[in-house]
């Protein structure tokens, strides 16, 4: 059981106040450009993950004439999540009415998947986005992953700091952090590798549903971030001098990537823009399916203006696949007519109109 049963938004972007009870399946948000429909999705995303998908700066999220923003969500499972964030950066996060320090516990009970313009850079941008994509899935599958990831991140930060140290760095400290990085990297990489093996099967099924020929052509390959034939601790020691010259660590789990291939080529180099969007859509659907297999819960899908990103035929295929999941969907569009032809059920469970930040059912 998943999804939002109630959502309240106060002073977020151009939304002064909003209190809605979403449908457990399909919710369509209609409005002109810059009306606030994407802000509604952004508020859900921020409440669930503690970050925006539009900006790294939190201050623009708070209405210009207000000192703070408040978000609250009540889930169908009975859990609730709340956030109060001030313009000064002070924040209170609550899960089930009790204060929590970070978003880990909220992210576990309120999983969200985003499909918007930025999602399609999953193929075109560097490996950082693809690592984040993998790690979202592993985080929800293995509770031990996050502590190992934090240990590796801490070791990497210390090693990089020593590499940038003026003069000759302390070799004993370098050795200690290299050993810590290598040990945590093995755990992280084993988890990522196992997850990607499962992802490949789910992805292939989803992409075949959207486009059989494309499904036969595209494959996934996990890259650990270093040559696995070599011991990482030894590799780090062997490359100290060159890493010192670069001032950074060039081998390790922070360099991991999910390679999306078409034959011997990167998919992004040979697929059309429309085909790339189908591949990313299949990746998002596959990740939601794996989440359900593990947690018996569906993530919330936030779908922003897909009508502007895909042609009518491919759009219908993506929406048919999304609706077949049984997950809660929040879908934005400028014109309902353009979206209606793409939906297997053209009448949404809930239809919301947005105008100048005002949301009405």
CATH 3.20.20.70 fits 120-296, yes or no: no
**pLDDT < 70 stretches in the chain:** 1, 344-348
Measured CA to CA, the distance from residue 302 to residue 119 in angstroms comes to: 11
Structure-block tokens of residue 314? 């491919």
pLDDT of residue 176: 97
- For 341, phi then psi, to 5°, come to -70, -15
Q: What region does 199 belong to: left with phi over 0, alpha with psi -120 to 50, or beta?
A: alpha
Nearest to 359 by CA among 110, 9, 59: 9
Q: Could you tell me if 327 and 288 are in contact, meaning their C-beta atoms sit under 8 angstroms apart?
A: yes
Looking at domain 1-111+300-361, its CATH superfamily turns out to be P-loop containing nucleotide triphosphate hydrolases (3.40.50.300)
Domain boundaries, the chain: 1-111+300-361, 120-296
Q: What DSSP state is assigned to residue 299?
A: P
Give me 46's structure tokens: 């921020």
Contact in structure between 133 and 69 (CB atoms under 8 Å): no
User: Whole-angstrom Cα distance, residue 134 to residue 145?
Assistant: 12
Q: What confidence score (pLDDT) does residue 1 get?
A: 57
- How far is 311 from 333, CA to CA, in rounded Å? 14
pLDDT at 96: 96
The whole-number pLDDT of residue 339 equals 78
302-317 pLDDT, tens per residue? 999 887 778 888 888 9
CA 349 to chain centre: 25
Helix axis angle for 312-324 and 273-295, nearest 10°, is 0
Identify the pLDDT of residue 311: 85
Burial-class residue 65 by CB neighbours within 10 Å (0-12, 13-18, 19+).
exposed
Q: What is residue 345's predicted lDDT score, i.e. its pLDDT?
A: 64
Residue 288, class by beta-carbon neighbours within 10 Å (0-12 exposed, 13-18 middle, 19+ buried)?
A: buried
Q: Which residue has the tokens 């399909």?
A: 26
pLDDT attached to residue 15: 95
Residue 14's CB: how many other CB atoms inside 10 A? 15
8 A C-beta contact, residue 177 and residue 159: yes
């Amino acid at each position: 059981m998943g999804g939002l049963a109630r959502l309240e938004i106060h002073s977020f972007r151009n939304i002064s106040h909003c209190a809605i009870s979403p449908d457990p399946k399909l919710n369509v948000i209609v409005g002109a450009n810059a009306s606030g429909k994407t802000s509604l999705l952004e508020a859900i995303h921020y409440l669930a993950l503690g970050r925006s998908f539009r900006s790294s700066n939190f201050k623009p999220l708070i209405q210009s004439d207000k000192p703070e923003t408040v978000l609250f969500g009540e889930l169908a499972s009975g859990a609730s999540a709340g956030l109060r964030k001030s313009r000064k950066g002070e924040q209170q996060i609550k899960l089930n009415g009790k204060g929590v320090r970070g978003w880990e516990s909220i992210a576990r009970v309120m999983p969200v998947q985003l499909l918007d313009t930025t999602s399609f850079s999953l193929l075109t941008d560097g490996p950082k986005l693809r690592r984040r994509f993998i790690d979202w899935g592993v985080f929800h599958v293995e509770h031990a992953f996050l502590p190992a990831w934090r240990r590796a991140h801490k070791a990497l930060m210390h090693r990089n700091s020593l590499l940038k140290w003026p003069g000759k760095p302390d070799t004993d400290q370098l050795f200690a952090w290299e050993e810590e990085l290598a040990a945590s990297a093995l755990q992280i990489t084993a988890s990522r590798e196992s997850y990607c093996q499962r992802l490949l099967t789910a992805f292939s099924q989803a992409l075949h549903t959207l486009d059989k020929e494309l499904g036969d052509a595209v494959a996934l390959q996990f890259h650990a971030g270093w040559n696995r034939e070599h011991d990482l601790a030894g590799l780090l020691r062997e490359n100290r001098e060159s890493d010192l010259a670069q001032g950074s660590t060039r081998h390790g789990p922070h360099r991991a990537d999910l390679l999306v291939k078409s034959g011997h080529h990167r998919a992004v180099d040979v697929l059309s823009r429309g085909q790339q969007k189908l591949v990313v859509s299949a990746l998002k659907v596959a990740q939601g399916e794996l989440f359900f297999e593990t947690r018996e819960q569906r993530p919330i899908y936030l779908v922003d203006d897909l009508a502007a990103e895909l042609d009518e035929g491919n759009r219908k295929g993506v929406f048919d696949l999304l609706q077949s999941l049984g997950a809660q969907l929040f879908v934005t569009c400028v014109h309902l007519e353009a979206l209606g032809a793409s939906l297997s059920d053209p009448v949404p469970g809930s239809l919301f109109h947005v105008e100048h930040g005002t949301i009405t059912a």
